[in-house]
Amino acid sequence: MSDLTESQKKFYEEALKQTKAEIQDLEGLIQVELGKVKEKIADLQNAQKAARQMYDAACQRLGIPNDMESDDT
């Protein structure tokens, strides 16, 4: 690494500090968005489970086999 002038050194130190803060802010935002996605997936899975229960009940009432019983999705 070549020798830096004092002003170059300060410039890079400031860039280092700023980009570190930016990376930390972005990580926080990523975690917030990830939490929202996980919550949405859980809501969708709960809705799917309820729909499957209704589908199964309708099959039972009609006396037909549940063709979705073996699906693990």
Per-domain boundaries in the chain: 32-65
Among 17, 21, 73, 18, which Cα is nearest to 48's? 73
**Whether the model pTM is above 0.75:** no
The one-letter amino acid code at 37 reads V
Report whether pLDDT(1) > 90.
Answer: no
Calculate ∠ Cα 19-21-27, nearest 5°: 100
Residues 15/22, Cβ–Cβ less than 8 Å: no
11-57: per-residue pLDDT in tens? 999 999 999 999 999 999 999 999 999 999 999 999 999 999 999 99
Distance CA 35, CA 30 (A): 9
